[in-house]
Structure 1
Amino acid sequence: MNMIEIKVPATSANIGPGFDCLGIALNLYNKFYIEEIENGLIIEGCDPSFANEDNLVFTSMKKCFEKIGYRYNGIRIIIKADIPVSRGLGSSAACILGGVVAANELGGDVLSKEEILELATKIEGHPDNITPALFGGMTVSITENNKVYYDNIDIAKGIKFYTLIPNFKLSTEEARKILPDTVSHKDAVFNVGRTALMLTAMINGNFDLMKVGVKDRLHQEYRGTLIEDFNYILDECNKLNTYGVFLSGAGPTIIVAVQQEDDNILKAVKKKLEGLNSVWDLKELNVDYKGVSIIK
């Protein structure tokens, strides 16, 4: 059987106040080259400690094979990963989706996109990264009674993003643990309003409203305590002519939204990061509107 290529975009969840429901696909990718072989398991292109049967791509493939009733012989997986691990850019969602989509292709393209979404979300535990990675663009998604409800958000043109990716990791589990069990009614109302404002600003192209719209009281201030210089970076970037600054997913990556045509802010942001203890890698990214792609 011929090798297939699965290309999955990076994603940023939450986008400030949209905790666990909003996500956006970005043009940074993981590629998975997968084929069925006579027997065994071969995994290349990743750390040797992940090149085994516990590999997330392979375990996701197996769950898909079980669902569609496909019996495979052996599997070969080649991974070319540009999405950094444990940085809040959806690397695990990319691996899960890559595995599910590849297995579905090998098994005869049995599942619809909605069924792929349901299965991948079940594996991941939440849909906020899976949905934009699958469909592209910006999405809102929730689960209710084990069903995923989602919709695409039509973003106006004129915005791009700088991702500030540090040279240290932050596990999602650790970032979850630090969150409080309950929040005040006042903070909940704060986030509802900001989420609504941020969404209308993105849809209508009123991007200047995002600086207020991306503010959050449910997760960022707690997770920020785990990220060195987090508050400094947010404050300094907000002083610039940006559309807004927010934590990407569980972090530690920070995202700065800017005007599409503005190339001057990059130098200013770099200058703000000079002299900090950690090294921050800046990438200019745009929205990926395609989502997962398959090349046979």
Structure 2
Amino acid sequence: MLSASAESTGAATPMTDDALVGDAKVILPEGISARVRVPASSANLGPGFDCLGIALGIYDELIVETTSGGVEVEVSGEGVEDVPRDGTHLVARAISHGLAVAGVSAAGLKLRCVNAIPHSRGLGSSAAAAVSGLAAASGLLVEAGIRDAFDDAELVQLSSEFEGHPDNAAASVLGSAVVTWMESDRVGGVAATDTAPVRYLARRLAVHPDITATVFVPATESSTTYTRGLLPDAVPRRDAVFNVSRSALAVVALTDDPAALCAATEDRLHQAYRAEAMPPTAELVTALRKRGHAATVSGAGPTVLVLGVGAVPAEDRDVAIGLGFVPSSVAIAGGVEVTHGRS
């Protein structure tokens, strides 16, 4: 069922049409497949910069099949105009990485991507792509009888180190809301200058059943790299203390006390500094908060997220529409779903 590879081109290298096999000694059989459904995510939730996230019911779907050679990528929906159609596609790279972890490769792959998560809008599309690729690799490995599926902790670790945003990745893996953190073997924990391997860890929070989510998505895009560059290297101690208290309160509000959401989503560490990059987003967050909504910038923006009890009233949605945003009520989502089989 499995064949040995005589080639060695470096398993860590992203897949290309001419170099799929890598260092792997085992090649997946042709004709096995996996199907993945992965949710969007919103990071930070106001105060929880780089550590809080929530899964949202907007889904990308992936079907991957092993073939005799090359990489073929079909895309519909979001990104259809600009994502690559070869082995440099982020999902294909994530599949390659997941297989390489198990010492396995594929002679070829066919990917069918149906994308609903908006790109470059602060809804975790890159993290979702990483999670879907790694989950697909897991499904292929199971179908080939090579190993058990990656467990949740492995998927969080692999997707976080691959894509770089554990708050988004963990939310897409685990579903609901998550708290994430990093650990290393270094005495004193993880330092800002650490280059040693880091463990990415996460815990799922059971979101209160009364809490609903509304996203306000603009037509404009935002670069996480650019908006992160607007943040200062140091902040006043009082602002750090403020965010620590609000992050702790956010856990309580999300799980037990939705009435505290407005206070729990206040922030002094990142949103104000990024406002110059997205004036309509900053204006909408301010307007919605004045109307009593727990509104935050979703991730690096420019989407706005509102968490609360019940729907956002029509008159408040109209404010967002007037600023160029499209409002949509979305569910708090479960985690990534994987099925596998033979085509």
Q: TM-score scaled to structure 2, two decimals?
A: 0.80
Say whether residues 1:267 and 2:318 are aligned partners: no
Say whether residues 1:212 and 2:296 are aligned partners: no
Q: Which residue of 2 aligns with 1:60?
A: 94
Match of 2:329 among 284, 287, 296: 284
Deviation at 1:275, TM superposition (A): 3.8
Say whether residues 1:115 and 2:154 are aligned partners: yes
Q: Which residue of 2 aligns with 1:236?
A: 287
Q: Which runs of 5+ in 2 are unaligned?
A: 1-30, 185-197
Q: Which residue of 1 aligns with 2:253?
A: 201
Inter-CA distance 241–17: structure 2 relative to 1 (3 Å threshold): closer
SS of residue paired to 1:101: helix
Q: Which residue of 2 aligns with 1:27?
A: 57
CA deviation vs aligned residue, 1:28-66 (integer Å, no higher than 9, x gap) = 100011110111110011336511221100111111111
CA distance, structure 2, for counterparts of residue 211 and residue 233 of structure 1:
15
Deviation at 1:209, TM superposition (A): 1.6
> Are the aligned partners of 2:43 and 2:52 in contact in 1 as well (CA < 8 Å)?
yes
> Are the aligned partners of 1:10 and 1:25 in contact in 2 as well (CA < 8 Å)?
yes
CA distance, structure 1, for counterparts of residue 97 and residue 105 of structure 2:
12
CA distance, structure 2, for counterparts of residue 123 and residue 75 of structure 1:
20
CA deviation vs aligned residue, 1:125-170 (integer Å, no higher than 9, x gap) = 2311111100111110111121122211122121111101010000
Q: Which residue of 2 aligns with 1:136?
A: 175
Say whether residues 1:103 and 2:155 are aligned partners: no
Say whether residues 1:258 and 2:311 are aligned partners: no
CA distance, structure 2, for counterparts of residue 142 and residue 96 of structure 1:
19
Match of 1:247 among 291, 294, 297: 297
Q: Which runs of 5+ in 1 are unaligned?
A: none
Point out which structure has higher relative CO (alpha carbons under 8 A, 6+ apart): 1
SS of residue paired to 2:106: coil
CA deviation vs aligned residue, 1:222-272 (integer Å, no higher than 9, x gap) = 112211223321222123243x11111111100112313x4xx34122221
Letter in 1 for 2:35: E
CA distance, structure 2, for counterparts of residue 274 and residue 43 of structure 1:
35
Letter in 2 for 1:7: R
CA distance, structure 2, for counterparts of residue 41 and residue 195 of structure 1:
43
Q: Which residue of 1 aligns with 2:7?
A: none
CA distance, structure 1, for counterparts of residue 156 and residue 201 of structure 2:
10
> Are the aligned partners of 2:32 and 2:140 in contact in 1 as well (CA < 8 Å)?
no
Say whether residues 1:80 and 2:125 are aligned partners: no
Q: TM-score scaled to structure 1, two decimals?
A: 0.93
Say whether residues 1:184 and 2:228 are aligned partners: no
> Are the aligned partners of 2:41 and 2:53 in contact in 1 as well (CA < 8 Å)?
yes
SS of residue paired to 1:156: coil
> Are the aligned partners of 1:201 and 1:207 in contact in 2 as well (CA < 8 Å)?
yes
Match of 1:13 among 32, 37, 43: 43
Deviation at 1:202, TM superposition (A): 1.7
Stretch of structure 1 that moved more, 245-254 or 222-231: 222-231
Deviation at 1:295, TM superposition (A): 2.7
